[in-house]
């Protein structure tokens, strides 16, 4: 009873201080919205309108038809027409174009020749995504009106499940949810205990009847609520601006997010007990945040990473959370389909909270 009222007192104090700290209050809303806008609008792996120059040395009916079809794909934006391959190379070097199309003089004859390529595509390989996109152009079928060669039967047809239009926000936002929650939750709690230590409040608190557990839980609970509010914000903005769906159960999503938030808060508290200054707490946050962005499967496909990077990725809570959000939001999975990641998040939260409670003692030595 006394314990509960002390816990409530600590929580009330935290909320009160949070409301008065304008920067924190602004970050609660500002970080998710800003990240959503940045990642949602700026990052687009479905590249279109690559600036292209064409050197059509054949200049026949067939080659002109080919150029027209190339333009129709929308992948290229044919802005220049030049005389020679050498000129294409010069323009690529100066960065004026991303793709150069060289059509040789004997284009018509090459089209019918199965042993030689009809067209040369010069691609700016210094940008990784452009290289990948240009590869798609290789698949262009050559359905020429002449009918000289019948369209080749394709061996493989790709059917992109869950995201048929290949819209990037649909891939990005379920993962971004994990990044935003990791960033804010970790940052707030990592600073929480150490700030009171720096301001001297802790020396007062540990001399009162309040227990370590009351202090820790009282600090964490308000942030869980904030995390869930942020989640709602991301879902709403994602829906309104980028039409990101939640195909599975939203309750499942919230339950999983609750577990993920708890895991992050526990890790943040552990940092808070381990560091001495707020600056160190921030550094510790970034120490986790960078691999969380790079090794979690958020930006780069998990399977493509070296095995050591995969191990590091597996250790991070966000990797498991991204599997859950992509599952629930896009693949219409239920929690029952995702027990592995859920068990990991739960275990992580328990272990980190225990470690934090053990490290935090009501002593100064």
Interface residue list for another protein (CB under 8 A) = 2, 5-6, 8-10, 12-13, 16-17, 20-21, 199-210, 362-365
**Which residue, 19 or 79, has its beta carbon nearer to another protein?**
19
Residue 12 CB, shortest distance to another protein, in Å, is 8
**Which residue, 210 or 237, has its beta carbon nearer to another protein?**
210
Cβ pair 170, 330 in contact under 8 A = yes
**Which residue, 81 or 199, has its beta carbon nearer to another protein?**
199
Cβ pair 190, 268 in contact under 8 A = yes
**Which residue, 88 or 202, has its beta carbon nearer to another protein?**
202
HSE value, Cβ hemisphere, 13 Å, CA-based, for 175: 19
Residue 200 CB, shortest distance to another protein, in Å, is 4
Residue 210 CB, shortest distance to another protein, in Å, is 5
Residue 47 CB, shortest distance to another protein, in Å, is 49
* φ, ψ of residue 96 in degrees (nearest 5): -70, -35
Cβ pair 7, 15 in contact under 8 A = no
Question: d(Cα 191, Cα 274) in Å, to the nearest integer?
Answer: 11
Give me the count of residues in the chain: 365
Residue 24 CB, shortest distance to another protein, in Å, is 11
**Which residue, 163 or 201, has its beta carbon nearer to another protein?**
201
**Which residue, 120 or 362, has its beta carbon nearer to another protein?**
362
Residue 7 CB, shortest distance to another protein, in Å, is 10
Tell me the β-bridge partners of 78. 52
Tell me the β-bridge partners of 121. 101
Containing 268, the helix (H) or strand (E) segment is helix 250-274
Cβ pair 298, 318 in contact under 8 A = yes
Tell me the β-bridge partners of 101. 54, 121
Residues in Cβ contact with 274 at an 8 Å cutoff, skipping those fewer than 6 apart: 284, 359
């Amino acid at each position: 009873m006394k314990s509960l009222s002390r816990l409530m007192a600590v929580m009330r104090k935290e909320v009160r201080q949070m409301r008065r700290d304008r920067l924190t209050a602004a970050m609660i809303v500002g970080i998710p919205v800003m990240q959503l806008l940045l990642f949602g609008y700026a990052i687009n792996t479905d590249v279109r309108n690559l600036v292209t120059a064409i050197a059509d040395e054949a200049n026949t009916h067939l080659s002109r038809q080919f150029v027209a079809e190339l333009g129709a794909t929308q992948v290229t934006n044919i802005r220049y027409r030049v005389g020679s391959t050498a000129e294409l190379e010069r323009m690529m070097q100066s960065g004026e174009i991303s793709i150069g199309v060289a059509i040789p003089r004997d284009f018509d004859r090459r089209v019918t020749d199965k042993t030689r390529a009809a067209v040369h595509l010069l691609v700016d390989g210094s940008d990784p995504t452009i290289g990948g996109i240009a590869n798609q152009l290789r698949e262009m079928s050559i359905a020429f009106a002449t009918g000289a060669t019948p369209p080749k039967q394709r061996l493989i047809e790709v059917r992109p499940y869950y995201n048929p239009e290949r819209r990037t926000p649909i891939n990005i936002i379920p993962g971004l949810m994990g990044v935003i929650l990791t960033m804010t939750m970790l940052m707030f709690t990592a600073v929480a205990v150490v700030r009171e230590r720096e301001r001297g409040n802790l020396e007062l608190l540990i001399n009162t009847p309040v227990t370590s557990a009351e202090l820790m839980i009282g600090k964490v609970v308000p942030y869980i609520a904030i995390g869930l509010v942020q989640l709602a914000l991301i879902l709403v903005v994602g829906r309104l601006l980028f039409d990101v769906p939640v195909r599975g159960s939203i309750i499942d999503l919230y339950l999983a997010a609750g577990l993920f938030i708890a895991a992050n808060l526990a890790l943040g508290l552990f940092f808070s007990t381990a560091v001495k200054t707020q600056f160190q707490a921030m550094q510790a946050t970034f120490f986790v945040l960078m691999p969380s962005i790079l090794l979690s499967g958020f930006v780069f496909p998990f399977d493509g990473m070296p095995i050591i990077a995969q191990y590091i990725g597996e250790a991070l809570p966000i990797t498991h959370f991204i599997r859950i959000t992509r599952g629930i939001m896009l693949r219409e999975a239920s929690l029952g389909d995702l027990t592995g990641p859920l068990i990991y998040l739960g275990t992580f939260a328990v272990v980190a909270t225990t470690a934090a409670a053990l490290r935090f003692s009501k002593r100064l030595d």
